[in-house]
Amino acid sequence: MSHGAKKHDTVDGLTSGEAFAAAERNAVYRAIATRRDVRGEFLPDPICEEALSRMLTAAHQAPSVGLSQPWDFILIRDKETRARIARIFADANAEAAIRFPADRQAQYRSLKLQGILSAPLNICVTSDPKRGGPVVLGATHMTDTDLFSTVCAIQNLWLAARAEGIGVGWVSILHEDRVKAVLDIPDRLRLVGYLCVGHVSGFHERPELEKRGWRERDDLALHLHQERWTAPKPASE
């Protein structure tokens, strides 16, 4: 790492600030609009190493607070390891079900919420709050900035995967400490995302929770405020 104080150097090398051509712009919007949280459509087909490499490179190009790059990616293919994670999910999911109102528990249990074993690859994404040293530029006042950087990396990977025709499902119904023990993850790291990754039979046209009547998407307008926060809160609440 260079500590040289180059404060007076000329910062050149700006590339054009023009918009993408319409076809390119539309491709970006297509990836964003058709990305899905995949649970049930994974195929066992192996993932092409070049595609996986492009996806991970995309993740690593995410913004990070103070250029701290707090993320790490654990690639898990071993079946026994995935089976251990699947058992952690099963325990957590059983606990989760009984927390819902009685009239929703059967519906909750009917939802498929992970593809840990059906996807050929799992990727555990961690965040290290100390990665940038004792003081990180941009992390001096607001908390959790390293987590935010790591989530940006995950979203990059997710969109890249969509362009590659590869599905990603983010599993959050897990006991973090048990997953960390299985994967030898040091205490200081946060488990941010546990991702199931693989080719798919297809992508749902709409988010599955919407399709299955669990919850609806709001109109964007309910989430927009002009100049300052304004009540009422979105109607879906």
Site for a second copy in 62-121 (CB under 8 A): 62-63, 65-69, 71-78, 81, 92, 95-96, 99-101, 103-104, 106-108, 110-111, 113
Q: Site map for a second copy, 145-184, x if CB under 8 A?
A: x-xx--xx-xxx-xxx-xxxxxx--x-xxxxx-----xxx
CA of 198: how far to CAs of 125, 142, 167, 190, in Å? 16, 35, 5, 24
235 and 223 in contact (C-beta within 8 Å)?
no
Nearest approach, Cβ of residue 90 and a second copy (Å): 12
Query: Which residue from 50, 102, 187, 230 is in contact with a second copy, where contact means CB under 8 A?
Result: 230
Nearest approach, Cβ of residue 130 and a second copy (Å): 7
Based on the shown chain and the rule CB under 8 A, indicate whether residue 197 belongs to the binding site for a second copy: no
Query: Which residue from 44, 49, 102, 142 is in contact with a second copy, where contact means CB under 8 A?
Result: 142
**Nearer to a second copy among residue 83 and residue 216 (C-beta):** 216
Query: Which residue from 47, 84, 130, 197 is in contact with a second copy, where contact means CB under 8 A?
Result: 130
Based on the shown chain and the rule CB under 8 A, indicate whether residue 46 belongs to the binding site for a second copy: no
Nearest approach, Cβ of residue 131 and a second copy (Å): 6
Q: What is the 3-state secondary structure (H, E, C) of 132-187?
A: CCCCCCCCCCCCCHHHHHHHHHHHHHHHHHHHCCEEEEEECCCCHHHHHHHCCCCC
Based on the shown chain and the rule CB under 8 A, indicate whether residue 47 belongs to the binding site for a second copy: no
Query: Which residue from 85, 185, 196, 197 is in contact with a second copy, where contact means CB under 8 A?
Result: 185
Burial readout 155-194 (b: 16 or more C-beta within 10 A, e: otherwise): bbbbbbbbbbebbbbbbebbeeebbbebbebeeebbbbbb
CA angle at residue 29 from 23 to 35, to 5 degrees?
130
Give me 128's structure tokens. 């290290």
Alpha carbon distance 161, 121 (integer Å): 13
Alpha carbon distance 115, 12 (integer Å): 47
Based on the shown chain and the rule CB under 8 A, indicate whether residue 44 belongs to the binding site for a second copy: no
Query: Which residue from 120, 129, 132, 195 is in contact with a second copy, where contact means CB under 8 A?
Result: 132
Matching residue, tokens 């070049």: 50
Give me 188's structure tokens. 């200081």
Minimal CA–CA distance to 193: which of 119, 122, 142?
Answer: 122
Nearest approach, Cβ of residue 139 and a second copy (Å): 7
Nearest approach, Cβ of residue 112 and a second copy (Å): 10
Nearest approach, Cβ of residue 158 and a second copy (Å): 7
